[in-house]
Structure 1
Amino acid sequence: MIDEFAKDYLHHELRGVREALVWKLDGLSEYDIRRPLTATGTNLLGLVKHKAYSEARYFGEVFGRPFPGPIPRWNDAGAWENEHWATEHETRADILGLYRSVCEHSDATINALPIDAPGHVPWWPRPDVKLFNVMVHILNDTTRHAGHADILREQLDGRTGTTAAYEEAIDAAAREAYCAKVEQAATAADPACAPDRCSD
């Protein structure tokens, strides 16, 4: 009983965070979803591509149910090198379609196996796992990257929220006042490192 509850709960949460990640691309130009937005090159479309590759491996190869699409296997030469960004030849539709297909394949694996089904993750220090371990890992990782996408999107155009239903209208004056209050507290906590005095 608790096993089915745990599996259903984790699966429900995973579906929700997948949707939040994909929604972060809505309404943005091709350039903005692809361009590097951090010093390490993190970009919105690249996050989705990475999650497609990751889920395909974890809910595919790990359980002997390889994803049938064009995703490099974990031990292919260069398999991990180009999964965090999109080339000019990879369209938004291609990558979103791939992610949807991978998610359907992952969902089929989750639905078909019990939560204690054995799997093998060759790239982990302790490679013998259960479906439970992988579900928690993928939920954690997808949530982490959805958080990255939250910040990137906010920096691009100020939009926030997990879905359109929860998006709040942008009130620039309220945001400015709030940021001023936070800045004032930061300066008060460390006056020597206020913006006009900090040497770091």
Structure 2
Amino acid sequence: MIILGLDIATTTGFAWYEPGSSLSTIKTGLIKAEGSNAEEKAASLSQQLVAMFRNSRPDFVAIEQPMRNVVSFKKTRETLAGPVEEQTVNPNALQLSSLSGAAVAIIAAYRIPWETIPSATWRKHFLGMGRSPGFDRAAWKRAAVERCRTLKIAVKNSDAAEAVGIAIAGKASQAFKMMQARAA
């Protein structure tokens, strides 16, 4: 059984993991979604997943669950009249759902079982901690890369390292366990 882990973003990290094999055999890489807007990037990611599945199909796909809420924050913008405080959102957060939806559509069209895994879940499983005070986005990424290096898993960057964590946590997911039970 082969698990494909996906850390979906404009640069999507992926990891091919075969449970039971040496962790150093995990193959990783990156998919760069091209385009000038979220829809074009989603189409690009979809086309690249189709090309990937022509060469090799996973038995299961574990995907980092995109945030389910869009957090707004205050931002100060300088105008000719002086600073103006405005409420805004991170546009990348909106784009992640489009990219994830595109990936899930391709995966489902190939009838490959899949599951989304929250970041706190895969981090706890892979790194030993799900949420840690003082950890920011950069610290989590460094921790994933360091863990891969410790396990002798070759990764190009943190996106690929996080995909490794997602793939390994995918093995512990309920959907994967149920799929294995049906296959047995």
The TM-score normalised by the length of structure 1 is: 0.22
The structure in which a higher percent of residues are helix is: 1
Please state which structure has a larger fraction of its residues in strand: 2
Structure ID, larger Rg: 1
* TM-score of the superposed pair, with normalisation by structure 2: 0.23
